[in-house]
């Protein structure tokens, strides 16, 4: 036996010595001594090879050494009561999943765990493993998640993870956002919405997933055809309904033909009520508000495509909707706190004052179309007027909006003169336009509001007025830079927008600078403005008053103009630019006044003779009358005397090489100095008027909106 066998045998005998039958003999004790000696490094003279002795179990013995068969894996042999017995093999455990393998060559045990022996029939609870010394241990549960939001992970005990298309509402149709055909997979809606479902006409859902909802479905018919079956609306909101299936019952004061449906609503207290109708296809229609107990015959409290009424009493009311044909329509209904009618129709001392700031609302049914707002382009819509009185220089912020039941484009203007649309201090256009003007001088102003929709129902204005903030030099009328016979420069970065100019530069994208020059007598002024880029420049005797401008032009990078015969006094230069960096530089050099033309005014009019060319010059002329060329266009005057009725053709041309257009206007005697009294106008290059005039005296006003210079005028007379 090898020394290691002997050592192991000795150790085992020592451990179990108290459990054997009988005591070891003296020879056993000697064997133990021999084993101890061998373990300490002494040579093993009696080493036995495994199997060389065969099986010793049961043989007679005098010591355990005689029983040792030299093998490790079959267990330790001992001599007990004179016979060889064998203890349990060293590598046998009680675990079912280990292999109890023993290596005879190395005298070692290999438990050889077998995971398959631990496996159950459920893949979902994970793969079980065999751990030596412990046994079968459960594995981690399967996580069936493929990170795809369009799939739902499931687990089958036999096959494991599987992934199916998302169907959150469990209707058997997968979400169309994931390639399925279910247009609404929201589980809160339920399983009723899917292809092939039954369309419910008033639930706001596309129940059959055909991309047509509620009353847009041709199959949905009106059930509220008369007053007895009026549909009760729960309150303000937007409702899609139809007149399909309806008949003609209740003609309206504003729309007699067609077919009608009826809606009922209730007010617990008086309210301002507005409603609007939008047809979803061709045709016409209208709606009316009536008291519920007068549903069939009215009268109409309000009638139109869009309606509004102030302080409608508490109680039950109806909306009668009529359309020219069976169509789907959208009905919008809104309630507001009852309001008192205010004086917001025209500008004047009694106009509602907003000087204290706040929020102001109203109904367009209370106002008419009285004024023109420049940024509206002259569209004939009703306008609203408010009065603003500033007792000190102030910063003013305005915002407005109008509605037909839904927001629409709104026009907002700030002006000193409601009748002069070109003189507005500011005009803004958008769904919610805003105007912010800093350092607005003390005085009386008006705020005008118009809507792009002729059926606008309501408006809302918010005004904030605060004391003027301190301004940088050159940034506003309160701090102009003097440029009389000098130049001055201000950084663009220090500027904000105040008024802009009458010819442009008044939108939120611009900044403007303010300068001033003073003349002690009538003088010419050579004005130069430079921003390094595109800009507008204007001159006005009233700072920030665009209606009073005597000059306005644009250019890049500079504007240079000789201003002729500028009256004595202080004049203000406004420069507006969209640039964000750089400087604005302005100079105003004074020069002797240019002598004006002889026919600068009506009293010096030059007589015209049939077919004879009359030559004159607009240079140094002033703007004495308001004629066809508009405000700010310099003018000269000619006179034509007719002794009998004649067909007359007037032709005005530039003679100095300029291609800029001219304007000519014809007015009768006695009206030469009257503003805007022209009977006929011509505009262009050349400017031509062909008209028939009775016997009498006529004045022809020639104007240059831009670039004054020499011109010719001729009148051709013929039989009428």
Q: What is the DSSP string of 135-186?
A: EEE--PPP----S-TTEEEEEETTTEEEEEE--TT-SS--BGGGTSSBS---
Report the alpha-carbon distance of residue 385 to residue 348 in Å, rounded: 9
Distance of CA 610 to the CA centre of its chain: 65
Q: Which two tokens stand for residue 374?
A: 């420049």
> Who contacts 497 (Cβ-Cβ below 8 Å, separation ≥6)?
436, 437, 506, 508, 510, 511, 512, 576
Confidence (pLDDT) at 196: 85
Give me the pLDDT at residue 198, please: 83
Q: What percent of the chain is modeled with pLDDT above 90?
A: 53
Q: Burial of 638 by CB count in 10 Å (0-12 exposed, 13-18 middle, 19+ buried)?
A: buried
pLDDT number for residue 384 = 96
Q: What pLDDT does residue 347 have?
A: 95
Cα torsion angle, 148, 152, 157, 159, sign: negative
In the CATH hierarchy, which top-level class contains the domain 602-718? mainly beta
Q: Please report the pLDDT score of residue 305 as a whole number.
A: 87
pLDDT digits (tens, 9 = 90+) for 237-256: 999 999 999 999 999 999 98
Cα–Cα distance between 419 and 422 in angstroms, integer?
9
Evaluate if residue 43 carries a pLDDT over 80: no
More confident residue, 56 or 5: 56
* 3-state DSSP percent of the chain in helix, strand and coil, to 5: 10, 40, 50
Q: Rounded distance, CA 145 to CA 661, Å?
A: 77
What is residue 359's predicted lDDT score, i.e. its pLDDT?
A: 93
CA torsion through residues 142, 148, 152, 157, sign: negative
* 227-336 has CATH 2.60.120.380 classification: yes
Predicted confidence (pLDDT) per residue in 656-711, tens digit? 888 899 999 999 998 898 878 889 999 999 999 999 999 999 999 999 988 889 99
Answer whether residue 33 shows pLDDT above 80: no
Per-residue pLDDT tens digits for 337-378: 998 888 999 999 999 999 999 999 988 988 999 999 888 877
Residue 42 — very low, low, confident or very high, per pLDDT cuts 50/70/90?
A: very low
Mean per-residue pLDDT, 217-238:
93
Report the phi/psi class of residue 401: left, alpha or beta, with left for phi > 0 and alpha for psi in -120 to 50.
beta
pLDDT beyond 60 at 20 = no
391 or 203, which is more confident: 391
pLDDT for 195 beyond 60: yes
What lies within 8 Å, CB to CB, of 294 at 6+ separation is none
Q: Which CATH number fits domain 358-467: 3.40.50.2020, 3.30.530.20, 2.60.120.380, 3.50.50.60?
A: 2.60.120.380
Question: Cα dist. 448→128, 350, 368, 622 in Å?
Answer: 82, 15, 12, 32
Q: Are 195 and 175 in contact (CB under 8 A)?
A: no
The pLDDT of residue 581 is above 60: yes
- Res 21: pLDDT: 36
The CATH number of 481-591, from 3.40.50.2300, 2.60.120.380, 1.20.1050.140, 3.30.465.10, is: 2.60.120.380
What does the pLDDT average to over 70-97?
89
pLDDT attached to residue 346: 95
Buried b (16+ CB within 10 A) or exposed e, 389-401: ebeebbbbebbbb
> Which pLDDT value is given to residue 530?
97
- 159-181 pLDDT, tens digit per residue, is 899 998 988 888 889 988 998 98
Is the bond leading into 299 cis (omega within 30 degrees of zero)?
Answer: yes
Q: Give the confidence band of 25 by pLDDT, cuts at 50, 70, 90.
A: very low
For the chain, where do the domains classified as CATH 2.60.120.380 start and end?
A: 227-336, 358-467, 481-591, 602-718
* Strands 634-642 and 160-165, bridge-based pairing: unpaired
Upstream peptide bond of 557 is cis (omega within 30 degrees of 0) = yes
Provide, rounded to the nearest whole percent, the portion of the chain with pLDDT above 70: 93
What is d(CA 58, CA 594) in angstroms, rounded to the nearest whole number?
151
Whether the per-residue pLDDT at 10 is higher than 50: the answer is no
Average pLDDT, the chain: 88
More confident residue, 9 or 133: 133
Asked if residue 37 has pLDDT above 60, the reply is no
* pLDDT at position 13: 37
User: What pLDDT, on the 0 to 100 scale, is given for residue 620?
Assistant: 85
Q: Is this prediction's pTM over 0.85?
A: no
What would you report as the CA-atom Rg of the chain, rounded to the nearest whole angstrom? Answer: 52
Q: Which residue is it, tokens 């049961």?
A: 58
Stretch among 93-97, 685-689, 710-714 having the lowest mean pLDDT: 93-97
Query: 259-267 and 315-323 as β-strands: parallel, antiparallel, unpaired?
Result: antiparallel
Give residue 287's pLDDT band: very low, low, confident or very high (50, 70, 90): very high
């Amino acid at each position: 036996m090898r020394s290691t066998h002997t050592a192991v045998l000795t150790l085992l005998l020592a451990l179990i010595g108290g459990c054997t039958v009988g005591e070891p003999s003296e020879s056993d004790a000697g064997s133990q001594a021999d084993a101890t000696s061998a373990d300490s490094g002494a040579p093993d003279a009696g080493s036995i090879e495994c199997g060389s002795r065969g099986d010793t179990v049961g043989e007679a013995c005098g010591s355990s050494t005689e029983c040792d068969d030299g093998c490790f894996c079959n267990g330790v042999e001992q001599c007990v009561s004179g016979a060889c017995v064998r203890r349990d093999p060293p590598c046998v455990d009680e675990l079912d999943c280990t292999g109890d393998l023993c290596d005879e060559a190395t005298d070692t045990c290999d438990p050889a765990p077998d995971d398959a022996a631990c496996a159950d029939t459920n893949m979902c609870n994970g793969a079980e493993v065999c751990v030596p010394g412990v046994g079968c241990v459960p594995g981690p549960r399967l996580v069936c998640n493929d990170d795809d939001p369009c799939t739902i992970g499931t687990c089958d005990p036999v096959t494991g993870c599987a992934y199916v298309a998302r169907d959150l509402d469990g209707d058997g149709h997968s979400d169309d956002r994931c390639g399925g055909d279910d247009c609404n997979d929201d589980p809160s809606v339920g399983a009723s919405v899917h292809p092939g479902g039954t369309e419910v006409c008033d639930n706001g859902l596309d129940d059959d997933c055909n991309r047509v909802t509620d009353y847009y479905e041709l199959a949905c018919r009106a059930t509220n055809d008369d007053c007895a079956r009026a549909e009760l609306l729960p309150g303000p909101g937007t409702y899609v309904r139809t007149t399909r299936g309806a008949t003609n019952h209740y003609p309206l004061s504003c729309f007699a033909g067609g077919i009608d449906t009826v809606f009922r609503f209730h007010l617990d207290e008086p309210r301002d009520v507005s409603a609007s109708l939008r047809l979803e296809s061709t045709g016409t229609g209208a709606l009316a508000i009536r008291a519920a107990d007068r549903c069939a015959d009215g009268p109409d409290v309000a009638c139109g495509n869009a309606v509004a009424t102030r302080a409608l009493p508490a109680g039950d009311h109806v909306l009668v909707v009529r359309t020219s044909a069976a169509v789907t329509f959208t009905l919008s209904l809104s309630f507001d706190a009852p309001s008192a009618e205010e004086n917001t129709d025209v500008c004047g001392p009694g106009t509602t004052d907003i000087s204290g700031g706040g929020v102001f609302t109203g109904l367009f049914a209370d106002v008419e179309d009285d004024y023109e707002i420049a940024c509206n382009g002259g569209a004939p819509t009703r306008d609203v007027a408010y009065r603003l009185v500033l007792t000190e220089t102030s910063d003013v912020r305005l915002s407005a909006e109008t509605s037909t039941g839904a927001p629409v484009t709104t026009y907002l203007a700030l002006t000193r003169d409601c009748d002069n649309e070109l003189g507005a201090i500011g005009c803004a256009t958008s769904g919610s336009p805003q105007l912010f003007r800093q350092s607005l001088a003390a005085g009386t102003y008006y705020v005008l509001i118009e809507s792009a929709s002729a059926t606008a129902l309501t408006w809302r204005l918010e005004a904030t007025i605060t004391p003027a903030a301190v301004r940088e030099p050159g940034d506003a009328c309160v701090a102009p830079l003097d440029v009389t016979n000098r130049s001055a420069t201000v950084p663009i970065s220090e500027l904000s927008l105040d008024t802009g100019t009458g010819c442009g530069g008044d939108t939120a994208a611009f900044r403007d600078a303010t300068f001033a020059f003073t003349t002690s007598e009538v003088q010419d002024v050579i004005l130069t403005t430079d921003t390094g880029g595109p800009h507008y420049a204007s001159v006005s005797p009233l700072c920030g008053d665009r209606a009073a401008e005597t000059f306005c032009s644009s250019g890049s990078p500079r504007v240079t103009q000789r201003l002729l015969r500028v009256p004595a006094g202080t004049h203000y230069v406004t420069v507006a630019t969209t640039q964000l960096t750089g400087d604005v530089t302005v100079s105003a050099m004074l020069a002797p006044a240019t002598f004006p033309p002889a026919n600068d005014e009506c009293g010096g009019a030059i007589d015209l003779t049939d077919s004879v060319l009359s030559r004159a010059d607009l240079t140094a002329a002033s703007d004495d009358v308001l004629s066809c060329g508009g405000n700010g266009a310099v003018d000269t005057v000619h006179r034509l005397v007719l002794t009998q009725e004649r067909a007359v053709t007037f032709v005005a041309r530039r003679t100095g090489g300029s291609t800029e257009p001219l304007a000519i206007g014809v007015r009768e005697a006695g009206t030469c100095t009257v503003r805007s009294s022209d009977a006929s106008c011509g505009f262009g290059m050349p400017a031509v008027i062909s008209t028939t005039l009775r016997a009498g005296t006529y004045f022809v006003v020639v104007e240059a909106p831009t670039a004054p210079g020499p011109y010719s005028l001729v009148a051709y007379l013929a039989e009428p």
